Every structure is written in C-alpha cells, then in structure tokens.
Structure 1
Amino acid sequence: MSGKKVLIVYAHQEPKSFNGSMKQVAVEELSKRVHEASMSDLYTMNFEPRATRNDVTGALSNPEVFKYGVEAYEAYKKKALTSDILEEQRKVQEADLVIFQFPLYWFSVPAILKGWMDRVLCQGFALDVPGFYDSGFLKDKLALLSLTTGGTAEMYTKAGVNGDFRYFLWPLQHGTLHFCGFKVLAPQISFGPEVSSEQKRKVMLSSWVQRLKSIWKEEPIHCTRSWYFQG
C-alpha cells in the first residue's frame, strides 16, 4: 500500500548479525511497497538510554525533588525535551507501523531499547491519565516486535524450560505497546538463529520477507490476558 510509513527501531551492535539481516531485508522489502521506511539504529546513533534530568531543557517544575515522569510530562507540554527525544517522537508520530528489531536479553529488550521506550514514550506524547490502553495516544498506529532468541523454539513452550514465549511478551506488548494505544501485530520470533543451520536461517529470513509483503492486511492480536496466559 503506497503512502504508508514504517519506522524500524533497531537495537543490535553488529550489522552482520542475524538481527542486522532481519533489519536489512525489512528495509529492502518495505521500501518497495511503502512510501517511506525510516530507521532508528540505536547503537549507531549512540542513543542515550538513561532517563535523567538532562532530558529537560527548561526549568524543572519541582527542583527540590526530581520525579522523571512528572518532569518529562511537563517538558513535553512546553516542548522542552531534548532534541534526540523530540526527533524520535516525530518519527513515531509520522509512522503507520513501528517495527522493533532486537535480540531478547533476559526475557526483555536490550538496555538501549528499554531506554528508548523510557524516554520517547512519555506521558503527554504516548499516553495520559486517563488515556491509555485502547485510549492511548498512539491508538491509530500498528506495532510489531521482531526478535531473536538464544534458545530453540522447544524451550519457549509451556512444557519447555523457559515457559511459553507469550509470557515474556506480556510486559512488552501489553504493558508497553498496548498501554500506549498501539494496535499490536503478532510477533516475528526467530528462535535460536545462532544454533540453527544456514539453511534454517535463510528460511527465517524468507518467512519475514513473505510476511512483510502482506503486512497491511494483518489483523492485530487481541490484547487480553487470555491471549498471553490461556491460549
């Protein structure tokens, strides 16, 4: 569908990694089919992951006791956040779909991507109270987690040593993305590429490319507890 815009938030240190390959084929495929595919390569950007008072360019609302969430909220309303945050918020605001490409670290995202979420998806921009989950400010956008694991698919089943993969998706998809209003597409999980054969890695890349060809036809998942814990 021409005219669609996609933002890829990419968090891996090595361009030759499997994550790097997933990112590259996504850029190539999406560029054929959408108006614009932009990138936030967090390691190359040397993105600051720490949420500190340095994120506020103006005066603090309460200089005596620093509360990051409060100060970021007030700074957003005054357009007094640092330029790196404002630039990422602009990219998100312009995107119809945000794809997060990363390796799973401790059942979560790498620190640099967690920092992106902490700093960019602030109150006022992504949500408010009230104004979260289905009423979140990003409710007209799609989001998708594309990630790699160190373990095999069998390890991420209910009977496996790590439990069902949907368990670690709960805080990421529901507690972060859905909380901000995103409509969440099913994740693209590449299980154990480092312990897979070259042929299997090619199949993983090919399946990603094929999915991207019809990504705009997909329906979001049902963001309910049953999807994660009873499905």
Structure 2
Amino acid sequence: MSTPPAAPTRSALIVHAHPEPDSFSSAQAAAVAEQLRSRDVQVHQIDLYAEGWDPVLAREHFMDGPGYFKPQAEQMQAVVTGTLDDPVAAHLRQVQQADLLVLSFPLWWFSMPAIMKGWVDRVFVMGATFGGEHGIFERGGLRGKKAIVVLTTGGAQPAFAPAAPGGYGDIDAFLFHIHRGMLEFVGYDVLPPVITYGPTRLDGAERAAALAHVQAHIANLLGD
C-alpha cells in the first residue's frame, strides 16, 4: 500500500538534548527554529536538559504497588483510560499536533544521548503512536507527518564515510536504528538528516557559515 504524501509543514516540534546552552548543538537547534519561523511555521521547543526530563520508563509511572510490570501494556491501558500523566501526556500532545518533529542532539557513542532515548521510550506511547488502533511503519499513528534528525559529531566528515580507512563507519548505519526503528516505525516520513561534523574545530566565521548551511538545508528540505 502506498503512503500518502506528507502534509505541508505548518507546525514543528523541536526536541533538543544537549546539557550546554552555549554549545554548537544548541545554536544549531536555534538556527533551525529561526529558519522554520521565517517560513511561517509555528515552532514549539522542548529542551530536555533544561526541563530536567526523567528518561526512565518506570513502574512508578503506572503502578502503585507490586505486580508484573509490562511497560507497553501499561502505556496502552493509560491511553485507553485517559490516565497518562504529565509531562508525558503534554509532550505526546505536542508530537501529535506537529507536522514536523525535529530531534536535535550530539552524536554520543554513535547514538543519541540517553535523555533523548528515554524521551522516545516514554513519549512514543503504545496505543497512541503505534499499536492498538494503529499499526507500524506506513500504518503508524504518526503517518502523514515528517521527522528529521539534526545532529553534531565529534569527528570530521571523512571519518564517517563508508569504508573510510581507520574511520568510525558509515554515518547512515549509525542513524538507521533512529530513522527506521523509531521514526519510521511510528509512521513518520523521515527527511535526510542535517549534520554538522566536528563543530569544535570551527572558528567563528566557519561556525557562522555552518549555521547558515544548516538553515539552507532546512529550507531546501521543506520546499513544500
């Protein structure tokens, strides 16, 4: 079955995970927000570190006493009964209302920071984003919406090329579990990632040029 085209981007949710507000990663997230607003996109932002987000999907979020804890079953039940608690319920509403989800983070250990993974664990709720009346992939609860990863790396770009001698490995391979296993899994149309390689090696002028490139990339991707 073919997937219907994603709707034009009128609203975006940027979920950002970096502990330093003055980092390039944080500046990059701000540049993305600025570019989206310049295109009349309504932007909402969640800064996980600033909010002190609890990344642990725990029994205590659903159960008061002992018993077998099956997280996804508890999520499903909370959706059915309308008992999903904030801040998860509030974040889920923002996800469902946004045409575009932006996940902004530095590449740590070839993946996303734990706080971001914990956000996905808790907010991509079974029964709301997949499962229940929804399926997965093209039948996921967030089908018809777009998602994009915006990240920074510690290493330079050549080190992430496929089969680069002495390199880290193919950047697309590191992002597969995010693109396919998280975003596409719940129905998103995933856009090509925005990546700034090795920003700590950039001087002031190069940093400004990199941020401008990020904005141009976003404008090009969202030419809807």
Q: Is the pair's TM-score, using the shorter chain for normalization, greater than 0.5? A: yes
Residue 139 of structure 1 pairs with residue 139 of structure 2: no
In structure 2, C-alpha distance between the alignment counterparts of 1:107 and 1:216, rounded to whole Å: 27
| Residue identity opposite 1:155 in structure 2 | A
> CA separation of 1:201/1:173 partners in 2, compared to 1, >3 Å: closer, same or farther?
same
**5 Å matches for 1:1-231?**
4-56=10-62, 63-128=66-131, 131-160=135-164, 161-217=167-223
3-state SS of the aligned residue for 1:217? Answer: coil
- Counterpart of 2:216 in 1: which secondary structure? helix
Gaps of 5+ in 2: 1-6
Are the aligned partners of 1:127 and 1:180 in contact in 2 as well (CA < 8 Å)? yes
Q: How far apart, CA to CA, are the structure 2 residues paired with 1:157 and 1:145? A: 18
Gaps of 5+ in 1: 219-231
Deviation per CA, 1:135-165: give whole Å up to 9, x if none: 1110111000000001011110112221111
Residues 75 and 17 of structure 1: CA distance in aligned 2, closer, same or farther (over 3 Å): same
Structure number with greater CO (CA < 8 Å, separation at least 6) is 2
- Residues 185, 3 of structure 1: alpha-carbon distance in 2 compared, 3 angstrom cutoff: closer
Aligned-residue Cα RMSD (Å) equals 2.0
Partners of 2:8 and 2:126 in 1: how far apart? 31
Question: Which whole-Å deviations, capped at 9, do the CAs of 1:11-62 have from their partners, x for residues lacking one?
Answer: 0111111011111112222222224100001111111100002222x778xx
1:83 counterpart SS class: coil
> How many residue pairs align between the two structures?
215
Using the aligned pairs only, state the percent identity: 33
> Does structure 1 retain, via aligned residues, the 8 Å contact 2:191–2:221?
no
31-40 or 195-204, which moves further after superposition? 195-204
CA contact 2:136–2:185 (8 Å) conserved in 1:
yes
Specify the code of the residue in structure 2 equivalent to 1:191.
Y
TM-score (normalised: structure 2): 0.89
Runs of 4+ in 1 over 4 A off after TM superposition: none
Question: What SS does the corresponding residue of 1:131 show, helix, strand or coil?
Answer: coil
